[in-house]
Amino acid sequence: MEQKVKKGIGWGGKPLKEMWGEKEQLYQETGCYYGLRELPLMKANPLKLEVLASRLLAAAIAGRETTRMISASPIVREVAELAVILYTPEGDSILQSTGLLIHLPLIGEVIQWMIKENYEEEEGINEGDCFTSNDNYIAGMHSADLYDIMPIFWEGDLVCWVGTVIMEPEVGALAPGCMPSGATERFVEGFRFTAEKTAVNDRHTKAFERRIRLGCRMPDLFLLDRKGALAANIKVREAIKKIIEDFGVDYFMEGTRELIEIERRAQLERVKRRTVPGKFQGESSYEIYASRGLVPPHHAIDRITLVPLDFYIRSDGSYYLDFDGTGSWGWHPSNITPAALRGALSMIITTTISYTGKANQGTFLAVDMNTPYDTFVYPSSPNVATGLLFTWPVTGGGLWMGQQSRAFFSRGFVEEFRSPVTFSYNTSAPVAMAGKDHWGRDFGFLNVEMMGCYGSGGFAIRDGILADALVQSDTDMGNAEVWELVLPVLWLGRRFLPDACGWGKYRSGHCVVSTYMIYKTQLLSLDTAGGGHCERICPNTGMFGGYPGQNGFGKVMTNTNMMQLIDQRKPLAHGEGYPGVGDLEGNIRGNLIIPWVNSYVKAIFGHGAVSQMYFGAAGAGVGDPVKRAPALAKEDLDNGLLTIDCCRHIYCIDASYDDKAEKWVIDEKNTAKLRERKRKERLAKGIPAKEWWQKRRQDIVEGKLPPLLKEMYNDSLAKGQRWPGEFRAFWQLPEDFTFSL
CA distances from 139 to 106, 169, 351, 412 (A): 6, 19, 21, 37
User: In angstroms, rounded to a whole number, what is the distance separating the alpha carbons of residues 414 and 407?
Assistant: 10
Stretch of 114-122, 125-133, 334-342, 403-411 lying at the interface with other proteins (CB under 8 A): 403-411
- Going by C-alpha positions, the residue among 28, 85, 66, 152 that lies closest to residue 350 is 85
The DSSP output letter for 468 is: B
Phi, psi of 717 (to 5 degrees): -65, -30
> Between residues 74 and 430, which has the closer beta carbon with respect to other proteins?
430
Does 683 engage in binding with other proteins (CB under 8 A)?
Answer: yes
- Of 45, 126, 281, 559, the one binding other proteins by CB under 8 A: 281
Q: Give 188's DSSP letter.
A: G
CB of residue 380 vs other proteins: minimum separation in angstroms?
24
Under rule CB under 8 A, residue 543 binds other proteins: yes
User: Which one of 411, 436, 520, 607 is in contact with other proteins (CB under 8 A)?
Assistant: 411
- Name which of 337 and 612 has its Cβ closer to other proteins: 612
Report whether the peptide linkage leading into residue 176 is cis, meaning its omega lies within 30 degrees of zero. yes
Given 378, 544, 615, 651, the residue binding other proteins (CB under 8 A): 544
CB of 292 to other proteins, least distance (A): 12
The answer to whether 230 touches 148, Cβ cutoff 8 Å, is yes
Applying the rule CB under 8 A, the residues between 454 and 483 that interact with other proteins are 460-462
Any contact of residue 592 with other proteins (CB under 8 A)? no
Smallest separation (angstroms) from other proteins to the CB of 604: 22
Q: Among residue numbers 480 through 499, which ones bind other proteins (CB under 8 A)?
A: 497, 499
Choosing from 285, 361, 386, 427, the residue that interacts with other proteins (CB under 8 A) is 285
* Backbone dihedral angles phi then psi of residue 457, each to the nearest 5 degrees: -70, 165
Region of 144-152, 168-176, 448-456, 679-687 interacting with other proteins (CB under 8 A):
679-687
Q: Please report how close the Cβ of residue 738 comes to other proteins at its closest, in angstroms.
A: 13
Angle between helices 338-352 and 104-116 (to 10 degrees): 140
Pairing mode, strands 524-527 and 512-518: unpaired
Q: In this chain, which of 33, 87, 547, 664 binds other proteins, going by CB under 8 A? A: 547
For position 699 contacting other proteins by CB under 8 A, the verdict is yes
Nearest residue (CB) to other proteins, 59 versus 497 = 497
User: Is residue 537 a contact residue for other proteins (CB under 8 A)?
Assistant: yes
Q: Is 546 in the site for other proteins (CB under 8 A)?
A: yes
- The alpha carbons of the chain give a radius of gyration, in whole angstroms, of 27
539 binds other proteins (CB under 8 A): yes
Report, in Å, the least distance between residue 343 CB and other proteins. 24
Among 11, 45, 57, CA closest to 239: 57
Considering only the stretches 55-63, 64-72, 81-89, 551-559, report the one whose residues sit in contact with other proteins under the rule CB under 8 A: 551-559
Question: Closest distance between other proteins and the C-beta of residue 349, in Å?
Answer: 16
Q: Classify residue 436 by burial, with Cβ atoms within 10 Å: 0-12, 13-18, 19+.
A: middle
- How near is the Cβ of 503 to other proteins at its closest, in Å? 7
Beta-strand pair 654-658/663-667: antiparallel
**Measured CA distances, 41 to 171, 357, 587 (Å):** 45, 20, 69
Binding of other proteins by 541 (CB under 8 A)? yes
689 belongs to the binding site for other proteins (CB under 8 A): yes
Residue closer to other proteins, measured from CB, 150 or 268: 268
d(CA 375, CA 172): 29
DSSP single-letter state for residue 496 = E
Q: Which of 210, 273, 663, 673 binds other proteins (CB under 8 A)?
A: 273
Closer residue to other proteins in complex, CB, 43/682:
682
- Scan residues 327-346 and list those touching other proteins (CB under 8 A): none
Contact status, residue 444 vs residue 176, Cβ threshold 8 Å: yes
Q: How far is the CB of 598 from other proteins (least distance, A)?
A: 11
Query: Could you count the other beta carbons within 10 Å of the beta carbon of residue 660?
Result: 5
**89 sits near other proteins (criterion: CB under 8 A):** no
Q: Is 274 in the site for other proteins (CB under 8 A)?
A: yes
The smaller minimum CB distance to other proteins, of residues 1 and 689, is found at 689
- Phi first, then psi: give them for residue 560, nearest 5 degrees: -90, 170
The distance from CA 84 to its chain's CA centroid, rounded to whole angstroms, is 18
Q: Which residue lies nearer to other proteins by CB, 281 or 656?
A: 281
CB nearer other proteins, residue 73 or residue 456 = 456
* Distance (Å, whole) CA 171 – CA 147: 13
- Kindly state whether residue 678 participates in binding other proteins, applying the rule CB under 8 A: yes
Number of residues located near other proteins, criterion CB under 8 A:
97
Residue 393 backbone dihedrals phi, psi, to 5 degrees: -55, -40
Of 661, 611, 653, nearest in space to 629 by CA: 653
Q: How far is the CB of 704 from other proteins (least distance, A)?
A: 9
Please, which residues bridge with residue 163 across strands? 85, 149
Q: Nearer Cβ to other proteins, position 323 or 506?
A: 506
Q: Indicate the residue type of 249.
A: V
Contact set for other proteins, span 12-51 (CB under 8 A):
none
Residue 673 touches other proteins, criterion: CB under 8 A: no
Report the C-alpha gap between 598 and 616 in whole angstroms. Answer: 13
Q: SS3 sequence, 274-305? A: HCCCEEEEEEEEEEEEHHHCCCCHHHCCEEEE
The span from the CA of 503 to the CA of 21, in Å, is 52
Q: Which of the residues 220 through 239 are near other proteins (CB under 8 A)?
A: none
Among 112, 351, 354, 403, binds other proteins (CB under 8 A): 403
Which among 41-49, 94-102, 173-181, 543-551 is the span making contact with other proteins, rule CB under 8 A? 543-551
Cite the beta strand spans of 466-578 per DSSP E: 489-496, 512-518, 524-527, 553-558, 577-578
Residue 425 engages other proteins in binding (rule: CB under 8 A):
no
Opening angle at CA 221, ends 227 and 75, nearest 5: 95
Interactions with other proteins, residue window 604-633 (CB under 8 A): 614, 622-627, 629
Which member of 570, 589, 673, 696 binds other proteins (CB under 8 A)? 696
Q: CB–CB of 146/194 below 8 Å?
A: no
List 686, 718, 721, 722, residue binding other proteins (CB under 8 A):
686
26 vs 705 by CB, closer to other proteins: 705
Binding-site member from 187, 439, 657, 693 for other proteins (CB under 8 A): 693
> What does the alpha-carbon distance between residue 350 and residue 270 come to, in Å, rounded to a whole number?
12
Of 26, 42, 414, 523, which one interacts with other proteins (CB under 8 A)? 414
Of 234, 241, 245, the residue nearest 63 (C-alpha): 234
Q: Segment near other proteins (CB under 8 A), from 195-203, 431-439, 583-591, 687-695?
A: 687-695
Q: Which is nearer to other proteins, 85 or 597 (CB)?
A: 597
> Taking contact as CB under 8 A, which single stretch among the options 109-117, 445-453, 549-557, 657-665 is the one that binds other proteins?
549-557
What is the number of other CB atoms lying within 10 angstroms of the CB of residue 565? 17
| Sign of the alpha-carbon dihedral angle for 704, 710, 713, 719 | positive
For other proteins, the closer of residues 407 and 450 by Cβ is 407
Angular region, 689: left φ>0, alpha ψ -120 to 50, beta rest: alpha
CB of 545 to other proteins, least distance (A): 4
Site for other proteins in 560-579 (CB under 8 A): 576, 579
Measured from the CB atom, the residue of 521 and 540 that comes closer to other proteins is 540
In this chain, which of 214, 687, 702, 741 binds other proteins, going by CB under 8 A? 687
- The Cβ-side half-sphere exposure at 303, using a 13 Å CA radius, reads 21
